[in-house]
């Protein structure tokens, strides 16, 4: 009798087929989930052009357009990308004035003789080809590892470009303000540095740094009413965090954390709090492996309006957060692993919710309300 590998059995359970037209119930809405497109290789980001086109990045180094349930050929013109470990082609964001300037921004892991690290570039997207590619930011120093690139992008109403970074797997770097690793970066859209940045007059600091003491921020969003910048930080074993970002603030990693070391579960740093270091607004123990963040502003799910959504890799969930006065007053978990590791959730121009599964055969899905 042939014995099946236990990991194979678990994988079959985790990625069990979804029934057609299955209705999912939540406390405030019922919805269905439909597949928009299949055949994506480790997709990392989904975004929507102002005219409604859907673009998806694949971590190995491809940018794709999704049309009528089909994937385009890879869009030409990307710079040289070093896909290693968690690195590759990562986030994408459209300029708010894209209709006039055709400009997009994207993050990726780039290499030189010293190693690899997060880089961010802008380009013109014309006839599905990138031109006038310009590197706006390079995280320095580069290193050899393949972990914790961060790399989510946000352009706020003031025209600042925020870039989340990870500690690159060397946690002590997050406490060094002369090192980009483990920080939130703020630059202008042309790559120059805002004069209001907190460390711009400190010769011992990297002037692009906006916050530091961050482990691996994989989600960022601006609150639709206040404009405040929020991030999701991927913790170790436990200790994922939702943070309200304030200039010059130290968020504590690795000196304080609600997580512990992987496998052995031993303590990290000095505890969970310390004077002069910010506390998270909300945290998860055990870790959900938080991978993206958004605030819902559409009309298709009116009872969810203003809620934050956080995607989860390890449990394959969507965490819906009800918030008031910068505090989480209720959390609900949706989906529970039915679609594998969820890498990102975004709101489409149609007011529906879209998410991508991080898998070698990844998919783009869409949530639709049941009336």
Q: Which residues are known to be catalytic?
A: 148
* Per-residue CA distances from 244 to 193, 230, 321 (Å): 21, 5, 14
Tokens of 348: 């489409």
Cα–Cα distance measured from residue 52 to residue 256, given in angstroms and rounded to the nearest whole number: 42
Nearest to 258 by CA among 278, 276, 241: 241
Strand 103-112 relative to strand 89-94: parallel, antiparallel, unpaired? antiparallel
* Per-residue CA distances from 43 to 40, 120, 128, 155, 357 (Å): 6, 18, 18, 21, 7
- If 0-12 CB within 10 Å is exposed, 13-18 middle and 19+ buried, where does residue 63 land? buried
What's the number of CA atoms in the CB half-sphere (13 Å) around residue 137?
A: 30
Tokens of 47: 């975004």
Q: How many CB atoms lie within 10 A of CB 324?
A: 9
- If 0-12 CB within 10 Å is exposed, 13-18 middle and 19+ buried, where does residue 22 land? exposed
CB 169 within 8 A of CB 188: no
Q: 275: phi > 0 → left, psi -120 to 50 → alpha, else beta; which?
A: beta
Cα–Cα distance measured from residue 1 to residue 81, given in angstroms and rounded to the nearest whole number: 47
Cα–Cα distance measured from residue 198 to residue 32, given in angstroms and rounded to the nearest whole number: 45
SS3 295: strand
């Amino acid at each position: 009798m042939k014995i099946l590998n236990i990991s194979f059995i678990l994988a079959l359970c985790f990625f069990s087929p979804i029934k057609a037209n299955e209705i999912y119930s939540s406390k405030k809405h019922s919805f269905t989930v439909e597949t928009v497109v299949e055949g994506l290789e480790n997709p990392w980001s989904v975004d929507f052009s102002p005219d409604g086109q859907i673009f998806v990045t694949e971590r190995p180094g491809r940018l794709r357009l999704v049309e009528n349930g089909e994937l385009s050929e890879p869009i030409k013109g990307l710079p040289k990308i070093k896909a290693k470990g968690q690195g590759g082609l990562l986030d994408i964001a459209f300029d708010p004035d894209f209709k006039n300037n055709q400009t997009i921004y994207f993050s990726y892991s780039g290499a030189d003789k010293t190693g690899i690290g997060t880089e961010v570039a802008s380009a013109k997207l014309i006839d599905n080809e990138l031109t006038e590619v310009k590197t706006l930011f390079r995280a320095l120093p580069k290193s050899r590892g393949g972990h914790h690139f961060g790399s989510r992008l946000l352009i706020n109403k003031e025209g600042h470009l925020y870039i989340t970074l990870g500690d690159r797997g060397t946690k002590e770097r997050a406490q060094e303000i002369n090192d980009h690793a483990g920080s939130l970066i703020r630059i202008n859209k042309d790559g120059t540095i805002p004069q209001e940045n907190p460390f711009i007059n400190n010769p011992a600091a990297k002037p692009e740094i906006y916050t530091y003491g961050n482990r691996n921020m994989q989600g960022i969003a601006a609150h639709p009413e206040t404009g405040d910048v929020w991030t999701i930080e991927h913790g170790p074993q436990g200790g994922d965090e939702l943070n309200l970002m304030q200039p010059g603030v130290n968020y504590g990693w690795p000196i304080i954390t609600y997580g512990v070391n992987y496998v052995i579960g031993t303590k990290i740093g000095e505890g969970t709090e310390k004077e002069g270091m910010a506390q998270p607004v909300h945290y998860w123990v055990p870790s959900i492996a938080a991978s993206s963040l958004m605030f819902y502003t559409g009309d298709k799910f009116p009872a969810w309006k203003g809620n934050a959504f956080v995607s989860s890799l390890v449990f394959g969930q969507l965490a819906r957060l009800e918030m008031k006065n910068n505090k989480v007053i209720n959390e609900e978990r949706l989906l529970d692993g039915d679609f594998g590791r969820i890498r990102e959730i975004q709101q489409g121009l149609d007011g529906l919710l879209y998410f991508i599964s991080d898998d070698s055969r990844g998919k783009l899905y869409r949530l639709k309300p049941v009336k």
